């Protein structure tokens, strides 16, 4: 009899464990901004300001004046299949559209995965000289553009973020 009571008790405990054990719970992280900033290791003061319909945008908090910003965008163009000619055309179009736009450096490289143009330029807006650092990655007809605008000595920080965004979004 005692043997049966022990067996029934063990069975009850086993069944009870399976009935009443906790269901695993999971919740997707709401605070994506913090996660992205940490993951991309942004320099101090930079935040992810947009991550949606205007694609991905970073900016640095400053007391006054021009807010340094970095924007990532993706587009497509059949002309991009001839990347060198396409980038030449984009630069000529930019010079014609933003009339004070001056290219300082224009470096091009071709890798197995695609074509890269690193362009540094400046232009004048409301009597202020704005520095622009841009990268264009071209893979087939896909064009990934990362643009950073700033004033003063923020070139290294901007390029660091552009590098991180390129690795994250383009895989370079």
Q: Where along the sequence are the contacts to another protein (CB under 8 A)?
A: 21-29, 32, 35, 51-57, 59, 65-71, 73-78, 89-101, 119, 123, 125-128, 130, 132, 134, 136, 143, 145-150, 169
- Residue number with CB closer to another protein (4 or 78): 78
**What distances in angstroms separate CA 135 from CA 2, 55, 62, 126, one per listed residue?**
80, 16, 24, 25
Q: Which is nearer to another protein, 89 or 110 (CB)?
A: 89
Distance CA 24, CA 18 (A): 13
Q: How far, in Å, CA of 166 to CA of 67, rounded?
A: 21
Q: Quote the least distance from Cβ 81 to another protein, whole Å.
A: 13
Query: Nearer Cβ to another protein, position 2 or 21?
Result: 21
Between 4 and 17, name the residue whose CB sits nearer to another protein: 17
Compute φ and ψ for 164, nearest 5 degrees: -65, -40
Nearer to another protein, 69 or 172 (CB): 69
Least CB distance to another protein at residue 104 (A): 14
Least distance (Å) between residue 11 CB and another protein: 20
Instruction: Check: CB of residue 162 under 8 Å from CB of residue 133.
Output: yes
Q: 62 vs 68, 79, 142, 166, CA distance in Å?
A: 8, 39, 34, 24
Report the nearest approach of another protein to the CB of residue 25 (Å). Answer: 5
What is the spatial distance between Cα 107 and Cα 123, in angstroms, rounded to a whole number? 19
Q: Residue 29 phi/psi, 5° resolution?
A: -65, 125
Report in angstroms how near the CB of residue 1 gets to another protein at its nearest. Answer: 35
């Amino acid at each position: 009899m005692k043997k049966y009571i022990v067996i029934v008790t063990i069975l009850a405990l086993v069944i009870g464990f399976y009935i009443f054990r906790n269901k695993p719970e999971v919740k997707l992280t709401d605070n994506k901004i913090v996660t992205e900033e940490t993951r991309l290791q942004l320099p101090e003061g930079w935040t992810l300001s947009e991550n949606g319909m205007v694609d991905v945008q970073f900016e640095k908090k400053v007391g006054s004046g021009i807010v340094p910003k970095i924007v990532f965008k993706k587009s497509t163009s059949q002309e991009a299949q001839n990347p060198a000619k396409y980038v030449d055309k984009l630069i000529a179009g930019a010079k014609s559209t933003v009339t004070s736009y001056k290219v300082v450096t224009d470096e091009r490289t071709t890798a197995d995965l695609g074509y890269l143009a690193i362009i540094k330029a400046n232009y004048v807006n409301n009597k202020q000289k704005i520095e622009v650092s841009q990268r264009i990655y071209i893979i087939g007809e896909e064009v990934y553009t990362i643009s950073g605008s700033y004033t003063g000595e923020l070139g290294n920080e901007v390029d660091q973020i552009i590098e991180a965004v390129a690795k994250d979004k383009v895989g370079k």
